Amino acid sequence: MSAESPVRSASASPPGSRSSSPINAHDTLTLRALISTKEAAVIIGKGGKNVADLLEQTGVRAGISGVTPGVYERVLTVGGSVEAVAKAYNLIISQLVSSSSSLDVAVSSRGGRGSPNRRKAQEMERELAPQPSIRLLICHNLMDTIIGRKGAKIKAIQDALGARMVPSNNVLPQSTERIVEVQGTLASISRAIEEIGKCLLEDWERGQDTVLFHPGVGDATSGSKRSANGYSAATHKSKTRRSPPANLHTQNISIPSDMVGCIIGRSGSKITETRRLSGSKISIASASHDDRSQRITISGTLEANQKALSLIHNQLERAAEVK
């Protein structure tokens, strides 16, 4: 399947790639989700039929990142109006639920009709099965927009819609994105996604310069270990990388203003160490570009910049755990 085709899987962007904002100039929402390779196959369908039907029914743009050997997660990207994106995710989750139910029926059929006790046990299993859910990828800087002051907004959404929203505490490796898992019925998840989309549109400027997450990048470049919650916690070896000026790349990320101190360290000790270990040039804007976030500029080779990003994100994660 060709990259960026609306009816095909979109190839993964280069590691460390950035998104200018979660919307475009026409106020169109782009919402990403982390899915398994099996879920990707269901969403695409035989010969791309399922995703083609999805586009026809909703009018969204959609794509799935390419396969990385040894990595069992991919990224689903859906773009369109808030209502269309919510409808698309509703149809996608419905497909996944139907696929799972079809598998249960097939297994049951192979085992014969069974006794009444067997059928009762199967009914109980279905009742106890996990509710449908989707793992959305949200820029760290936009999480406050969804959660609200002391969790007021996320609680209001959950109480009103009946969906459960579980935000992760840590950013994903070499990115500025975090997971928000939305659980509930198909209808409640769809309504929750619509509310999340509205929140993102209202505060879209905070999503500028998002460093997108790419499954497997942390594993491949940082010797990371897979954790129980489905993403990686990277470990690093200290090694200075010096690169020729011709190969320099520059990228900007934004972090909460109250987290700048943990990146700089006492008397600049942490940022000095990060520069030494990564080989990248790292600078922090003297003033925040808004009231809540501050921009960090990283310059070096792609490999050095990825190392710097990993070190910075580890520092943010440790600081968040202390809080």
Q: Using H for helix, E for strand and C for coil, what is the string for the chain?
A: CCCCCCCCCCCCCCCCCEECCCECCCCCEEEEEEEEHHHHHHHHCHHHHHHHHHHHHHCCEEEECCCCCCCCEEEEEEEECHHHHHHHHHHHHHHHHHHHHHHHHHHHHHCCCCCHHHHHHHHHHHHHCCCCEEEEEEEHHHHHHHHCHHHHHHHHHHHHHCCEEEECCCCCCCCCEEEEEEECCHHHHHHHHHHHHHHHHHCHHHHCCEECCCCCHHHHHHCCEECCCCCEECCCCCCCCCCCHHHCEEEEEEEEHHHHHHHHCHHHHHHHHHHHHHCCEEEECCCCCCCCEEEEEEEECHHHHHHHHHHHHHHHHHHHHHC
Question: Has residue 217 been placed in a domain?
Answer: no
* Same-domain pairing of 93 and 171: yes
Find the farthest-apart pair of alpha carbons in the chain and give their distance in angstroms, rounded.
74
d(CA 144, CA 140): 8
Query: Among residues 207, 232, 265, which one ends one of the domains?
Result: 207
* Same-domain pairing of 97 and 197: yes
* Same-domain pairing of 176 and 275: no
* Same-domain pairing of 268 and 201: no
* Same-domain pairing of 315 and 172: no
Domain of 254 in residue numbering reads as 248-321
Question: Has residue 90 been placed in a domain?
Answer: yes
* Same-domain pairing of 86 and 181: yes
Q: Encoding tokens for residue 104?
A: 């249960």
* Same-domain pairing of 191 and 51: yes
User: What residues does 133 pair with on adjacent strands?
Assistant: 183
d(CA 31, CA 298): 26
pLDDT in tens, the chain (323 residues): 433 333 333 334 455 566 645 554 447 899 999 999 999 999 999 989 999 999 999 999 999 998 888 888 999 999 999 999 999 999 999 999 988 765 444 444 444 445 556 565 555 545 445 578 999 999 988 888 898 888 898 999 999 999 999 998 888 888 889 999 999 999 999 999 999 999 999 888 887 778 888 888 654 333 333 333 333 333 333 333 343 445 677 888 888 888 888 888 888 888 888 888 888 888 887 665 556 777 888 888 888 888 888 888 888 887 777 65
* Same-domain pairing of 168 and 313: no
Query: Among residues 207, 229, 258, which one ends one of the domains?
Result: 207
* Same-domain pairing of 193 and 255: no
* Same-domain pairing of 136 and 70: yes
Total structural domains within the chain: 2
Question: Has residue 225 been placed in a domain?
Answer: no
Question: Has residue 238 been placed in a domain?
Answer: no
Q: What is the pTM of this model?
A: 0.60
d(CA 104, CA 129): 11
Question: Has residue 5 been placed in a domain?
Answer: no
Q: Give the CATH number, domain containing residue 281.
A: 3.30.1370.10
Question: Has residue 84 been placed in a domain?
Answer: yes
Question: Has residue 163 been placed in a domain?
Answer: yes
d(CA 301, CA 278): 10
d(CA 226, CA 144): 27
* Same-domain pairing of 51 and 134: yes
* Same-domain pairing of 73 and 149: yes
Question: Has residue 255 been placed in a domain?
Answer: yes
